[in-house]
Amino acid sequence: MTIPQTILSALDGVYADQLTTRMGIEITSWDPERLVATMPVEGNRQPFGWLHGGANAVLAETLGSVAAALHVAPDGAVAGLELTCTHHRPARGGVVTGVCTPLHEGDRVATYDIRITDARGRLTSSARMTCAVHKR
């Protein structure tokens, strides 16, 4: 299943020259039970040469927010309420992949589990994102 054109159009307008674009985040697949995006390590490192923990948080929040928006599409609204991240191991190069799956998608709150892995498939960070949602 592909992301609906109305959502793609909205995302294009939102992503233009925004943080997600500057960080190289790309949504690669979506279905109702899973949203996937990639992000390069290059350009998103902290001073020691590892992927910045804040970059993991941006990837996780992007995935959770987009998943919530897709849940209430085409006319709903979302706002992030909470994001927690645990960084398990450093990523030093290549691309990381975030996989977002719903834990709960209700009429008022949606919560997502996000797992970020390195190019070798090793868990580098895990996150949980909760959004307030409003279905119109």
- In degrees and rounded to multiples of 5, residue 12 shows phi and psi of -55, -45
Q: Which of 26, 33, 42, 61 is catalytic?
A: 61
8 Å CB contact between 128 and 73: no
- Based on the residue annotation, tell me whether 61 is a catalytic residue of this protein: yes
Q: How many CA atoms lie within 13 A of 19 on its CB side?
A: 10
> Measured between alpha carbons, how far is residue 8 from residues 11, 15, 107, 114, 121 in Å?
5, 10, 22, 21, 28
Residues with a catalytic annotation lie at 61
